[in-house]
Amino acid sequence: MRIHPIDGLLLLTMKLLKSRDRRETGLEYFRPENVRRILVVSSTAIGDTLLSTPAIRAVRERYPTAHIIAHFNVKNMELFENNPYIDGIIPYYGGYKKFVRTIRELRRRKFDLVLIFHGNEPQATPMAYLSGARFIVKFPKSTEFSFLLSNGDQQTPGASLHVIEKRLKLAELVGCRSSAREMVLVARQEGEAFVTQFLHGHGVGAEDLLIGFQAGASKLSRRWPSPRFIELGKRLVAAGSRVRIIITGSPEEYGLCREIAVGIGDGAVVSAGRVPLKYLPSLVKRFRALVTGDTGILHMAIAVGIPVVALFVPSAPEDTGPLYDLHRHVVIRKDAPCHPCDAYRCESPFCMELITVDEVFDAVRKFLP
């Protein structure tokens, strides 16, 4: 893994600053009644941010009058600008981009508490500390910056817990207790009109049955092969005269999605790069079901109440799969063939080929009349 030259300097600087910090920053000194301003951090991908939203809601319920600002990734923060449990967003630009500028903005807000639910290191924890907040809470894992945390000696919850539950456990450390595990994603009102116009422009009528395909993923090892999406799409279109396949993805995935649409033929529409991210929840709400690997739109569909057929091989559904409304969703899981699995570095993944078209088709057909 490539190491940024600033990393070492940042670590030394943090150690020096912490050695001169005379504040009592341990959780034993934390007093909820003194909290006025809170920063919640979930600055990575769409799915990770959605998985943080139940914990953010718990923070708002415990601190109803606090000013709560989110630190979200600039690439996807438009999805969350209307989240009812936050008062604003400070963007994270990735790595050390606009690092000093962001710290200045954080310091201007004078936060009392920072909760890091999920953030890129080595930036997330130092930025929280440099914000000036007295209390910083994060499950430390193996980060070199654990000494900056108010709970640095605490162990991360066991691997058996779903990510949503782990983040709720983190919120509990500062008095936020909630049994609500549903993710929070509010579709924009103007998105409904945009999506209606988009679908109409592609010949999709109100009576058509829409099945979503998410072909792309952040890692190659989480992608179901394109030929299988093509075969599945053909079979679904043939199974019902009103079935239309909507292929979602990022603008960068347009070529992949277009290839699948061409392979399916009539009945397939590409939304990748055509429907803005902020309106994507409005599109997903139109689906009868979504076929997807372990990627952001999986959590988006669950959040807006749409059934998913979730394909898992290298990743674990007990960590990031559906957690609630389980009767609505289908999870197809296969054991990873490589031990140990190195999905992050795998350049020629074949494990998703273990999932057959037949079993996915049978799962999706349950959602058709």
Write out pLDDT tens, residues 217-255.
888 888 999 999 999 999 999 997 799 999 999 999 999
The reply to whether 189-365 shares the fold of 6-172 is yes
Please give the single-letter amino acid code of residue 336. A
pLDDT digits (tens, 9 = 90+) for 183-216: 999 999 999 999 999 999 999 999 999 999 999 9
Q: Is residue 142 very low, low, confident or very high in pLDDT (cuts 50, 70, 90)?
A: low
Considering only residues 159 and 130, tell me which one the structure prediction assigns the higher pLDDT: 130
In this prediction, residues 256-284 reach a mean pLDDT of 97
What is the residue extent of each domain of the chain?
6-172, 189-365
pLDDT in tens, 13-49: 999 999 999 999 999 999 999 999 999 999 999 999 9
Q: Indicate the pTM of the whole model.
A: 0.94
The fold of 6-172 is Rossmann fold (3.40.50)
Model confidence band, residue 5 (pLDDT cutoffs 50, 70, 90): confident
**Closest Cα to residue 42, out of 27, 54, 32?**
54
- Asked whether residue 334 carries a pLDDT value surpassing 70, the answer given is yes
* pLDDT tens per residue across span 168-178: 999 999 999 99
Q: Flag whether pLDDT at 3 surpasses 70.
A: no
pLDDT value, residue 267: 95
Is the predicted pLDDT of residue 2 greater than 70, yes or no? no
Using the predicted structure, report yes or no on whether residue 6 has a pLDDT greater than 50.
yes
pLDDT classification of 350: cutoffs 50, 70, 90? confident
Looking up tokens 């504040």 gives: 23
Instruction: Supply the pLDDT for residue 77.
Output: 98
- Residue 283 clears pLDDT 90, i.e. is over it: yes
User: How does residue 1 score in pLDDT terms, banded at 50, 70 and 90?
Assistant: very low
Q: How far apart are CA 119 and CA 131, in angstroms?
A: 15
Q: Which fold has domain 189-365?
A: Rossmann fold (3.40.50)
Q: What is the mean pLDDT of residues 146-164?
A: 87
Q: Between 184 and 160, where is the model more confident?
A: 184
